[in-house]
Amino acid sequence: MTNILPGRFSADIEGDFVVFIIGMRVNRLWAVNKWLPVATAMTKMQVALANDPSTGFLSGENYFNLLSKTTCSIQYWRTFDDLERFSKAPTQTHLAAWRRFNKAIGGNGTVGIWHETYQVKANQYESVYGNMPKFGLAKAGEHVAASGVFKNARSRITRPVGDEATARKIA
């Protein structure tokens, strides 16, 4: 069972980071031979990333919306350069999967793919988790008590950039 942490917590991550949201949409449900390879390739990529901290991948969460037939993976990366390097590296899982997708699917419409990338500057984010396991940014960075400078949304989003250890002592 997942370790639920009672109480209120926030996330703290040192420096800038990247939020990468990626997914696929099943446009033709019965074309299993088209969308299943895409889904399994995404899973293999995430397993490879989780097992190799040198990629710059910090953490990720996965979701599937049955009504919209869309998957979503919210990922946290140290830098955009790390993300781009992974996507283009011939030795990593992404490039081969991307080539297979273009060959098998291309623009035929059976499977949709999408992604969004956000570069987040240090301390330009806020989060709160109540009675949750380590999750999202708190799993990618540091899971901290929601007190002091982490007590409310306004103080989390406006805390000064600087010595994070000092901010935690104030918390």
- Over residues 127-165, the pLDDT tens digits come to 999 999 999 999 999 999 999 999 999 999 998 876 554
- For residue 1, the model assigns a pLDDT of 55
Boundaries of every domain in the chain? 5-14+121-170, 17-120
Residue 69 to residue 114: CA distance in whole angstroms:
13
* From the candidate CATH numbers 3.40.50.300, 1.10.10.10, 3.30.70.100, 3.30.70.270, the one assigned to the domain spanning 17-120: 3.30.70.100
Contact between 169 and 42 under an 8 Å Cβ cutoff? The reply is: no
Return contacts of 58-65, CB within 8 angstroms, 24+ apart: 58/13, 58/17, 58/140, 58/141, 59/136, 59/139, 59/140, 61/135, 61/136, 61/139
Task: State percent of the chain over pLDDT 70.
Answer: 94
Cβ count within 10 A of residue 66:
6
Q: What φ, ψ does residue 135 adopt, rounded to 5°?
A: -150, 150
